A and B are shown apart, each in its own frame.
Chain A
Amino acid sequence: MGKYGTIARLHARLEKKEISCTELTKAYLGAIGKENGGLNAYVKVTPEIALDTAAKVDAKLAAGESLSPLEGIPMTLKDNISTKGVETTCCSRMLRGYVPVYDATVWKALKAQNAVLLGKTNMDEFAMGSSCETSCFGGAKNPRDRSRVAGGSSGGAAAAVSAGLAAYALGSDTGGSIRQPASFCGVVGFKPTYGAVSRYGLIAYASSFDQIGPIAPSVEDAAFVYDAISAYDSMDSTCSGSREPVCSALGNGVRGKRIGVAKDFFDGVRPDVAKALADAADVFRALGAQIVEFSLPPVKYCVPVYYILACAEASSNLGRYDGIRYGYRTEHYADRNDMVCKTRSEGFGAEVKRRILLGTYVLSAGYYDAYYKKAQSLRGAIVRSFDAAFRKCDVILAPTVPTTAFPEHYAAKDPVETYLTDICTVPANIAGLPGISVPCGRGGDGMPVGMQLIGPKFSEAALLCAANQYELAARETATGATGTGVGL
């Protein structure tokens, strides 16, 4: 059991009966009631479900049964993860009132372990955005400085964990949507290898990039959650599950490990952020790892490649929202075509429309070769360049974001400028690699900086081990919960 792990500490307190699961759940629900108005981290709170589960866990404890690691631990799900009987909106007007008839595989797995669902968290509409501000519910605020955004798209999840309003959260990461808000809010965000965690029930944005993963106070917590959700799933053909449990590997050292630093990840990175990363490299050196420098030129193509391919897939994935079967439907219309047009015009926000149009364009006859096909072939080249890089090193060290958390309304001013801030996170999605963001000190503005570690496919054990060793060594600067929520 780690020194900083929230889940492990709560698990121990429950088993020792220092606190009942109902008391714990009520503490979190109380904190949400007090703080969520200002933070807007949750878009739906589910006290009945949480307390029902808590009662079950308390009954088990009363019967002297032991608990599995995540049993009775209060948590939350991003609002694009399907929950049977609980409204799942993707924070889009288009899906207001949509109640799934089935559970996402990840939620099914956690539910089976009596995970306590506190609610659904805020996000950019259909996970498209870097600030959480494209949410139809308005953006989540950054608990470290409420004049700044929590980041996106899993902004609500990162804000909830950072503010102590959940022990952990599940988010989804298509181009950085777990790691970027985790970096902004000073918590750990982990995007597993594409195919390690089932996507069944995750409402699709860009299918070949989307991946569910944990946002948690510490690396150890993220590891617990990853082990619980990374099983093979027959419902997702692209999911093979994890290769090995990661929790047991966290204690392995990093002595002799080669940490790769590619200068291409540092182009345009704010100096204070670069400084925090240089300090992180020193921590690894002190732990006995070796820093290997090289260049990875294809990184510069990653943002355009990502936006072409992700938007193409999105334009197809979001075609189904026509107002016929579920979700939003316009009130006044002349005929079926008119209904579909008006429903989509009114139901989707500006950023979603922009990406649908972009994606439709790049797939259209006459443009396909110049955009989609070219981007697809570059994707292959990027994958190969990472393969080559991982012959030189075991893990790549990079910033998560070139800056710290944006001020409010920054992202809306210039979409392309904002897209470019995804430069450090999208490469892992393009290549399907696991990436984790770990807090590494503060920027000149006093806001948290995120260090990103990227590993080869299915190297979660080694990746989380390196992240954990760093976190343990550098904990003093990488502070965890802000204490605004549940004081534990």
Chain B
Amino acid sequence: MSYEMVCGLETHVELATKTKIFCSCTTEFGGEPNTHCCPVCTGMPGTLPKLNRAVVEYAVTAGLATHCEINPDAKMDRKNYVYPDLPKAYQISQYDQPLCRNGWVELSGGKKIRLTRIHIEEDAGKLVHERGNTFIDYNRSGVPLIEIVSEPDIRSAAEAIEYLEKLQTILRYIGVSDCKMQEGSLRCDVNISVRPKGSIGLGTRTEIKNMNSFSHITRAMEYETGRQIDLLESGEAVAQETRRYDEKTGYTEGMRGKEDADDYRYFREPDLVAIRVDKAALEEIRSRMPEDPQLRLARFKRDYGLPEDTARRLAERRKIADYFEAAAKGRKDPRAAANCILGPIFARLSTDAEKDEFRINVPPENLNALLKLLDEGKIRSSQMKATLEKMLDTGKPASAFLSEKDLAGVSEDDLRKICEQAAAANPDAVRDYLGGKEKALKAVLGAVMKATRGRANPQETEKILTEMLQKGKPVELP
């Protein structure tokens, strides 16, 4: 029998707000242990949470970017469980009234992965095992998270990874998270089951907790699918349980079964008031959102005439897309700007992280000015490229490297005269050309370029020469 995997993801994303969700401590990653905390985020007796407005705005932005409905009347709840990294013995989260519901993320093939909900919650601290002892670092305690819960719409590890990459792109685009898996700002729980291909019901699922790399997710999903199929094939049942992925072996192992599952005793957080997102607030947030990356990609192809791959590489990062649009603005050929970015500029950004940051010392206006010189025929493509490299080396504008003479160009009258002289000086080539050997024109063209030290526009020169020679005058053949 052939089986298919049925998978849904719960993705936890740290929001990029400056301060924590319920106090004004910094959310900055790193820092000496227990230096980014206060009585509130360490849950000292008598303290109260105060909801950071930016967290709600960021989460709503994420909801809008993933086509969610925004709950106008959300609330916070307490999720009670005991663990030393959770200083209040409850996590303030959202249970039955999440901020966002019913969204979707579209994969490149057009398939939509539906989102059940997005809710906001606080992160816990971190246990540090050192010197044979366990210590607790509360720097992360109270860092805001969104949990994005998908429907079980994923059918392969590849789809899961693409879904996560799409989420990363979207969330980075709208600026709500840096989604750095290595720093734990994006991590996910994988819910997975298998069923005979063609059947509609769902099999018993297991949950693989706390995955923080694409390769681990892929391996864990593949292993777990195989394990479940093996069980079913041998007539055994899959147990509903929480499993842990072992990075060393690539296997998953049971942590706790359904009967040991925590009873979180959710109830409304009495220390916080309801979260009301009214129409005006929603419109305000919507108006501040950048263009949807998918729509922008389509626009890049349509309006700038960019090929798919070029458009995708420019549009997938908001900083780069913005840079491109500023550099190409008003220029005759947007592809020149695109080529500058994907060529010489990308050559200086070796890692994805550097591309994400996109720290370039040439402002897009300066690239635009350089490309304008090209448009006006004042410089040639090779000069432009050489100048761009110098600009990237130094951060100075094009004017620092191009003399007035370089930029003076050659007037049309002068060019005509030079063309006449060049034709006269190369009678053999002219004869060959007129005799039907079109390539022979190159020799004349070369002579013009030599005479102008490369300042003549090749296209313009060719045009003048062709007209001149085809009219058969004023060149007199000996």
Contacts and interface: CB of A to CB of B under 8 A. Distances in A.
A95 interface: yes
Interface in A292-317: 312-313, 315-316
Interface in B95-136: 134, 136
Interface in B125-158: 134, 136
B453 to A, nearest CB: 71
Interface string A304-346: 0000000011011001101011100000000010001000000
B43 A320 contact: yes
Contact of B45 (A98, A235, A360): A98
Interface string B253-281: 00000000001011100111100000000
B265 A102 contact: no
A204 B315 CA distance: 51
A191 interface: no
Interface stretch (B62-70, B76-84, B381-389, B401-409): B76-84
A203 B46 contact: yes
A315 B270 CA distance: 13
Nearest to A94: B45
B363 to A, nearest CB: 41
Interface residues of B, number: 29
A323 to B, nearest CB: 10
A101 B273 CA distance: 26
Given A102-B39, A316-B78, A316-B80, A235 B46 contact: no
Interface residues of A, number: 43
Mostly helix, strand, loop or mixed at chain A's interface? loop
A243 to B, nearest CB: 18
Given A101-B39, A316-B78, A236 B48 contact: yes
A102 to B, nearest CB: 5
Contact of B273 (A238, A325, A340, A368): A238
Interface in A249-301: none
Nearest to A236: B48
A29 B80 CA distance: 44
Interface in A207-266: 207-208, 234-238
Nearest to B79: A316
Contact of B50 (A95, A202, A234, A320): A234
Contacts of B266: 363
A238 B271 contact: yes
A208 B270 contact: yes
B45 A199 contact: no
A35 to B, nearest CB: 29
Among B42, B48, B51, B272, the most chain A Cβ lie within 10 Å of the Cβ of B48
A324 B88 contact: no
B258 to A, nearest CB: 12
A237 B80 contact: no
A237 B273 contact: yes
Nearest to B42: A325
A428 interface: no
Interface of B: 39, 42-51, 78, 80, 82, 84, 87-90, 134, 136, 263, 265-267, 270-273
20 contacts: A80-B46, A81-B46, A100-B39, A102-B39, A102-B44, A202-B46, A203-B45, A204-B46, A236-B48, A236-B50, A237-B271, A238-B48, A315-B265, A316-B80, A316-B90, A324-B136, A326-B44, A336-B84, A340-B82, A372-B267
